[in-house]
Structure 1
């Protein structure tokens, strides 16, 4: 392994001598209709001489990065329009306002050969095992971000209910916080659940970046199993978009997004807001949904509706400052505010329903961002971000009532509290976040990058229901983290070979109190821990042919525990574990991508990745012996290996079909216990973890059937997850608890009116009303129907 690593280093430095410098800039603009001046979405934009290109987005705009200075032949095509062909002269400043006008064609275009590479393709061909999800084509659908991620190869999304429920992500067998979620490059946990992947509507999202295993230092965090980076919309034109979705279980989702920029001085204002509401009163049934029959005293299984699972969240993000000026590409003062209310229907399983337990959470996150390309000298780019996140969470569970699954009060608990003792606690969190990213391009083929994120987290609170001296929530709890990374990127052989070398330092310290109970009293004891770890790695890819790319990446990665894992989270029924240790993993990926292959009107792309993860001290969420509370613990040694694959096919740019599948073999590899005895679970498959899944997505464009220029599409999604055991597979009887096989189908249709301002969609989720479980004994919603309207005001 070490010899191979140094071989790649040697190959990298050999390639440096063969690299040649060439100025490359950005060409961007828009495509419009010559008669109406309306922007035209989803046009093919190509630079024929470079075999490079992309597509216009839903607003008709396009961006082609890394275009060499000089003259190039640009070709733009779209069904129903005559092809556009013209030579453009690209200067050192690039082109930022190219306007291309298309005229209607009286003759249908028989064949459009897309010979360029989109930004998605360019990202997938890098050395990292990465994928970009463009939200433009699904923005008008009643679809959630979690659904889009669950349709991506190698990713498994496990939800515990309807809209607003707790969610767990897994990439290639590693799950929980080993997979880090970012919003615009900032770790999502600092925003709180009210402004998160669960609450943000797809209309506010530009794109999603997914990294599997090895993560670039530019994200500046301790992602061990992979990372998901959600990029919100940052329109620079004057825009205002609105959407409203209504559907089953009294679900409502509203989103508004707008931007204004003064072209004279660069003054920019951006704003977005959202509102989500759902009763989540869907029907549940099964072994854990039981009610005592008052006539005969027997406990019977029933079909009942959830009655204490409501969810409400709203929030806004405001940016004000300057963009694209001489002194800054971006200088923005921002504010994120959000709030939520969430009812809690049950604990770790559905066997005991709650009738009044609920929590609220709100946050205020002011921040300042400064970005400048070519600062002081050409090639020096700087990106600085500073913020202070204020979060407050209140959990209320004081009732003495006991509820059954009909929502009826059947008894009384004199002590109060539905999930243990009575709780009326408030938790206040404050986090100072400083992030920097500095890169220097010696030329277009050699780039040095230094990045990092430094956070100072504090938590305190109080429990109004705690006994005298027994309130542990007001103890001080502090975590300081520092993750610094240095990387060197090189491209060689006319950009056929791309290599990235990097090192990272992970430092953290914990300062907190924990309580012991003896002699009828609570005794607070201080606990301080600190640690420094290092990681390193390489990501490389090589174009064997114009269509075949092979990729390899490897790293030693470290993942530090997050506050909720160490200190617990009462709102999510999670208790503390101050003894958690960092996870350490040896990650490797080997993959290839073939495509796009064109055969007449047919297009095909195939990509696959073999992965290997050797993890020490994996942090895993477990359930206590009573089955009502969660806690996080270290597992000794875990080995995960497997494969994920994705196939993309389209016919004549009308029929689009995607198949993605993943298999991982994740095993517990700690052979002996701390006492020297043989571990009973050695070499067993990791408990409560899915290992085989696949998704299919199909979309068909029926616009040709319309006399107008509107766009009509129908789409179908299918998700399959094979059954897996709740506990260890090697112990227990033959009828061990399992999470059953999932086979879920969604169907929908959308219509975009001419001029691209108004769009309507109708979606049916869980078409066949299957009983769906992502977690043991926690049922997800059945069939639901949703209607959505989207309107571009200007």
Structure 2
């Protein structure tokens, strides 16, 4: 492995020395909107035939310019054109950076006439969904609900607001998918920083990478990654919203920024507060036939004479509350730093637990709380020391604490009645206040070098160090099983932009290092064990444009995913730890094509792709019959094949329609004798259970400006989701007639929003699950029925 490291270093040094000499006059620089690069901007040197287009980094270069006086002009649709005059001497290099300002008169047509950053990401060599979330800003949706409409993505929630969820991309899910905010892992910010907590107002764009992930994210994301991109503008703004809905659900969000023009100091702040009783109706659950007896104690011996019946009752122990606040202060656009920010944050969650991993287990007193603190610093500089060399770095120190209270020796029934038990609600023999402490140190650096407009390289290094401590605070003797996880990931990428931008190739390699220290009982003796794992991944992403709007792309990665703290040490809830897990790996292949075109004010985008995943040592949660909990195990092999397609149509700013469909066939390729798990044994070539295999979405939006007055907009949205039935357990086990499955679901949502004073004041009303259909996800846990909400939003800039 050391030989490979030496080759990487030599390669980076060699290509970094290519462009040290300037033999002709040239002009280069970056074009940005605040800190966000503008790709596709036109750069023209008046009085010559020399011109260029900015790349994905906003970088442009004009070469072989004769000495003389010139005027350079930069333009991009939706922005004010900017010109500068300059005089070039022989053998001179001039660096010019441009900060373009938005043009309100052009912005109305930018989505159909110009190529947005979202479209640029879609047309990259990676298999990626790019979602512009600004059009959802007036809805009550969180980021999970927006992503759940995307091709290839399926999010399975266990209940209402704040419930656990499993995020799946092309059949790989759970910890195999990583989540980021502006390239930084969400878990660094604390447990409340979760997709089902983050309001849509806090995001600008969502990027969903499928199977193949850029090295700049510095992640062991075997199944893919989601990057939440927030606003990078430097102007002042304030966005405040509050929504109220069914089940006493309240959601508030704030994000804002202030820039001092004299000093250049910028202060950013964001936060949210979410709460809900989640007291929606559970249909057809087991209750006493004699009628509901909420809160009543029933002696256990009396239960032998009572009968159970199927009834409809409200959830009675599912309150949820979360709050997050974070702030940053720093500067931008200085000689020594394009960006330098120092920040801090705090978040807290309080949650009643209503069920275990399935709804047969009912809780009445179990509670979960958590809180986290974090301190961060980030830095970015383009043209560091030399032209084309850029550096971005981030570091964080955070601490998460979880507390699970399970001290009542009782068993509850869905009608709220309960009886004495020799065990706690979670099946423990002793009362427990389980505490988990996880301090974390995280650091990441990305360095890039533009050799010339057609060739560039990037290098990433990520360090993630986490300590774990579990103990029972209710016990006088606090026995704990401490542990540590240390991850290091190094990624190197080389990008080619050939044939005038028609062909783009990205070659990359990733080195994964895992150091695991944990203690476990071996023959009833507490034993410390150390594990060290080193793995090398690699891949390629390519895109070829046959014409301006037509292109094909392909990507491949041999990827690894290292164990997470919850898998090794447990989560203190429904998942027990497994310190013997191994890293999992997968060969991921994507093949796709896209076509976009425009006829007058009508624009179309069509995309289709196929995917293949072959995962080894696949980590999969299975029920443990002895503890009534889930436990992760390494299955030998899982193979996933499938396809997905999407069609989008827009007419001016009036109408948009989207249809997408995903089919995925995830099968267990573990042969008999390759696993010790009874749960897996005998399921060779079976579909992976409890996972949808066919699903799709339809989204219809119509909106009109100035319909109810000047500077107003009225908009209506209808969204439908289809999920085909799927088995809850292995298809080969049990009687086919009595086999448990999750039935086909059609869920409809509708929303109406009204904006006035150019979007300064906004109000919207929304209905989810309009037809009040039964909806399920993980282990057939029922989700909320029909619900209503209203949202108020105030936005100034």
Structure 1: runs of 5+ lacking an equivalent: 1-12, 31-44, 55-62, 78-83
Alpha-carbon shift at residue 348 of structure 1 (Å):
1.4
Aligned residue for 2:566, secondary structure, equals helix
Q: Is the 8 A contact 2:182 2:230 kept in 1?
A: yes
Aligned to 1:3: none
Aligned residue for 1:285, secondary structure, equals strand
Q: How does 1:34-49 map to 2 (within 5 A)?
A: none
Q: Is the 8 A contact 1:47 1:116 kept in 2?
A: no
Cα distance per residue 1:727-756 (max 9 Å; x no partner): 111121112111222211100011111232
Aligned to 1:728: 730
Change (3 A) 1:87 1:387: closer
Structure 2: runs of 5+ lacking an equivalent: 1-14, 45-50, 63-70, 87-94, 293-304
Cα distance per residue 1:533-553 (max 9 Å; x no partner): 100111110101111111011
Q: Is 1:370 matched up with 2:379?
A: yes
Q: Is 1:289 matched up with 2:297?
A: no
Aligned to 1:600: 600
Cα distance per residue 1:703-745 (max 9 Å; x no partner): 3533322011000111111111111111211121112222111
Aligned to 2:11: none
Write the distance in 1 (CA, Å) between the matches of 2:386 and 2:671: 56
Change (3 A) 1:370 1:264: same
Write the distance in 1 (CA, Å) between the matches of 2:452 and 2:762: 45
Alignment match of 1:351 (pick from 344, 355, 360): 360
Aligned to 2:65: none
Write the distance in 2 (CA, Å) between the matches of 1:194 and 1:462: 22
Alignment match of 1:482 (pick from 482, 488, 496): 488
Write the distance in 2 (CA, Å) between the matches of 1:732 and 1:103: 63
Cα distance per residue 1:241-284 (max 9 Å; x no partner): 21001101110011111111223332111111211101100001
Aligned to 1:65: 58
Write the distance in 2 (CA, Å) between the matches of 1:692 and 1:113: 31
Q: Is the 8 A contact 1:200 1:274 kept in 2?
A: yes
Write the distance in 1 (CA, Å) between the matches of 2:30 and 2:567: 45
Q: Is the 8 A contact 1:193 1:199 kept in 2?
A: no
Write the distance in 2 (CA, Å) between the matches of 1:113 and 1:371: 29
TM-score, length basis structure 2:
0.87
Write the distance in 2 (CA, Å) between the matches of 1:113 and 1:536: 36
Q: Is the 8 A contact 2:675 2:681 kept in 1?
A: no
Write the distance in 1 (CA, Å) between the matches of 2:703 and 2:627: 49
Q: How does 1:169-318 map to 2 (within 5 A)?
A: 169-286=167-284, 288-293=285-290, 297-318=306-327
Aligned residue for 1:123, secondary structure, equals helix
Write the distance in 2 (CA, Å) between the matches of 1:703 and 1:431: 49
Alpha-carbon shift at residue 65 of structure 1 (Å):
3.5
84-93 or 368-377: which moved more? 84-93
Aligned to 1:449: 458
Q: Is 1:760 matched up with 2:763?
A: yes
TM-score, length basis structure 1:
0.87
Alignment match of 1:323 (pick from 328, 332, 351): 332
Aligned to 1:636: 636
Aligned residue for 1:303, secondary structure, equals strand
Q: Which stretches of structure 1, 4 residues or more, deviate above 6 A after TM superposition?
A: 48-54, 84-87, 675-678
Q: Is the 8 A contact 1:497 1:540 kept in 2?
A: yes
Write the distance in 2 (CA, Å) between the matches of 1:186 and 1:85: 32
RMSD of the alignment, in Å?
3.1
Write the distance in 1 (CA, Å) between the matches of 2:650 and 2:104: 27
Aligned to 1:682: 684
Cα distance per residue 1:416-439 (max 9 Å; x no partner): 344433321211111111111111
Aligned residue for 1:137, secondary structure, equals helix
Change (3 A) 1:673 1:318: same
Q: Is the 8 A contact 1:616 1:637 kept in 2?
A: yes
Aligned residue for 1:490, secondary structure, equals strand
Write the distance in 2 (CA, Å) between the matches of 1:706 and 1:52: 41
Aligned residue for 2:653, secondary structure, equals coil
Q: Is 1:496 matched up with 2:502?
A: yes
Q: Is the 8 A contact 1:23 1:444 kept in 2?
A: no
Q: Is the 8 A contact 1:48 1:115 kept in 2?
A: no
Aligned to 2:543: 541
Aligned residue for 2:360, secondary structure, equals coil
Aligned to 1:420: 428
Write the distance in 2 (CA, Å) between the matches of 1:307 and 1:314: 22
Write the distance in 1 (CA, Å) between the matches of 2:31 and 2:233: 17
Q: How does 1:381-400 map to 2 (within 5 A)?
A: 381-400=390-409
How many pairs does the alignment contain?
736
Q: How does 1:83-102 map to 2 (within 5 A)?
A: 88=83, 92-98=95-101, 100=103, 102=105
Aligned to 2:298: none
Alpha-carbon shift at residue 74 of structure 1 (Å):
4.8
Alignment match of 2:512 (pick from 488, 500, 506): 506
